[in-house]
Amino acid sequence: MERKANQKRIWILFGLILCVCIIFGIVLIEIQIVHGQSYAELATKGATRSQTIQAARGEITDRYGRPLVQNKVGYNVTLDKAYLTRGEENEIILRLLSLLQAAGEEWIDKLPITQTEPFSFYEEQETEIAKLKDFLDVGSYTSVDDVMSWLVERYELESYTPAQQRMLAGIRYEMERQGFSITTPYTLAEDVDVSTVIQIKERSYELSGVMVTESTIREYVAGDIAPHLIGQIGPIYAEEYAELKDQGYAMNDTIGKSGIEEAFESQLRGENGKRTITLNANGEVIDATVTQSPVPGNSIMLTLDLDLQRIAQDSLEDEIQWLQANGEEGEGKEATAGAVVAIEVKTGEILAMASYPTYNLATYNQDYNTLLANPDNPLFNRALQGTYAPGSIFKPLVGTAGLQEGLITPSYTYTCNHVYTYYDDYQPKCLGWHPNYTVMDALRVSCNIFFYDLGRRLGIDTLLDYAKQFGLGEPTGIELPEAIGHMASPAYSESIGEIWNPGDVLQASIGQGKSLFTPLQLATYTATLANGGVRMKTHLVKSIHTYNLDETVEEIEPEVVVDMDLSDTAVSAIRDGMIRASGQNGYSGTSGAYFGNYPISVASKTGTPETTGYPNGTYICYAPADDPQIAVAVVIENGYHGYWGAAVAKAIFDEYFFGKTNDQLPTQTDTLLP
């Protein structure tokens, strides 16, 4: 009985096993035959990743659509933390730097410390040095040796030579500042040569984590044209990312840092796309699908004329260098820097704006430390940020105010006896003696005493009002950051702890004292004089277009800021005086050597404002005087004679009106003196 029961159990167990085998067989048939292909694909699939497709940044052109900044496809060398062997970062980076160095490639290094021993901080890099010390959390007085010690300890560089320590510290510092992580690769070198790419790939076995990525490279096709205006792009640093991440930026994105690149970032940046990468179990890419196409940014068309900008830059540089080589001691030989601005009178469009010394955007990264260390500060935009006393170029404003307010007429005369004796305790002088001069002749010879007396009668409040309407000490409307400057006044003197004296209005009347304006403001003022007292909003952007300039997104229309409603009498009298100052119509003027025989009528005024050192040279003009189209303002630091600026203005007029330039450099002559 017991034996039969055991046999029954065995058969039951056998039946269960058979059923299980049948079920497994059916499942295997289902897996291997019915759905074999799909399961095979699943077996080889590892994971998916989402990659950002960088949108092409909008381009920047001149007023005729000629490119100033465009894009090209290039190769960047990046470090990917996901594949960078932990603990061997320094060795891998050092191998890579050695390869780049041998290939003649540059890499990004913004550590403000010299490259070789004895180490020192780069001069003129106070801001970057302060950021470095703050980053390391050390005191502001910490020496460069102590800073290097902190960097060596932070990045475990003790076993390397000092030169290697400096190279590695520069890279590691920048990597950390840019938030290098698994999700944020670091770009070490940009736009490297194809031959370098091949070498990196050939040595990939010893360069784990080093990637070569094909990307859109910003190409400055006119690299030395208007660099201060175009500006730079750069990486997003960790301290910036906290604010930018909510605007859709990734940690490894680039962003406009200055100039038009920064001011129009929202238009230029475009919208990034997305790509989904599918990997197999071995980490090999088996599929790549664009899930969101990138949208390129809009392109910006500037008001600049590329040819005129080139002439403005070259003529300013040539004039300053000529003065250094040929000028007399104390009368221009010490000239070091300057600025020039040309404006279209009827629209307020900036046709050219140059600052000297300058730099090349195409080599900005390589030249960065040298540029910062240059005592003449080529990165400083003097046209927008420099403020200067105007000197005698302020006199047309005083003359305009006197005529408009009815204190003088075109026939009114005043006798200059060389010394102004209205005040007993303050009696400033003129450069000469000018009997019975009208306002036109007072402008021609730049008589100080005529304008001392007229300015005193007008009073400082009236002068302040006219200066404001002409745009002096006021925002011009330009789209970039600008210094505002100020007009000399009792309020300003009080703000700096000084007392305003009655005689101070005399100095204010000839553009001296505490008045400081930018070259851009001086050009705006000149254009307003030329435009009969109608001040236009000064602007640098002409229009915004889709990426390929196919469609217009926005057209910037000319805008009247102030209409001073000047009388025809005031406008024509000042214009006549400035024409005489150009040495035209048979008169001997302060810039007659340049415009006395010019085929187009030119209205101009020279200035030699005093400074704490050598006097600057200032110059304003517009042409044609009878139908003004273009206004120019020139400032030459330590230039002394204002008429040196006439050479720069003449080169601009030659290009604007005739499409050619006069290569003959000026010759100093006593006949230019009033």
pLDDT in tens, 610-667: 777 788 999 999 999 999 999 999 999 998 888 899 999 999 999 999 985 544 434 3
* Mean predicted confidence (pLDDT) in 150-173: 92
The fold for domain 306-360+380-545+554-667 equals Beta-lactamase (3.40.710)
pLDDT value for 51: 60
Domain boundaries, the chain: 45-72+222-302, 81-208, 306-360+380-545+554-667
- State percent of the chain over pLDDT 70: 87
Rounded CA-CA distance 130/288 in Å is 45
Tokens representing residue 208 in the block: 């784990």
User: What DSSP element (H or E) covers 19?
Assistant: helix 2-29
pLDDT value for 428: 87
Whether the domain at 45-72+222-302 and the domain at 306-360+380-545+554-667 fall into the same CATH topology = no
Check: pTM over 0.85? Answer yes or no. no
Tokens representing residue 309 in the block: 């900008």
pLDDT value for 287: 63
pLDDT in tens, 511-564: 998 999 999 999 999 999 999 999 999 999 999 999 888 899 999 999 999 999
pLDDT value for 673: 31
* Mean predicted confidence (pLDDT) in 127-135: 88
Q: What is the b/e burial string over 354-382, where b = at least 16 CB atoms within 10 angstroms of the residue's CB?
A: bbbbbbbbbebbebbbebbebeebbbbbb
DSSP secondary structure code for residue 394 in this structure:
G
- Nearest-CA neighbor of 620 among 533, 529, 535? 529
* Mean predicted confidence (pLDDT) in 434-440: 88
> If you write DSSP's letter for every residue of 20-39 in order, what string do you get?
HHHHHHHHHHIIIIISHHHH
pLDDT in tens, 39-67: 555 445 556 666 666 778 999 999 999 99
Domain 45-72+222-302 falls under CATH 2.60.40.10: no
Is the per-residue pLDDT at 13 higher than 80? no
By CB atoms closer than 10 A (0-12, 13-18, 19+), residue 163 is: exposed
CA angle 27, 28, 29 (to 5 degrees): 90
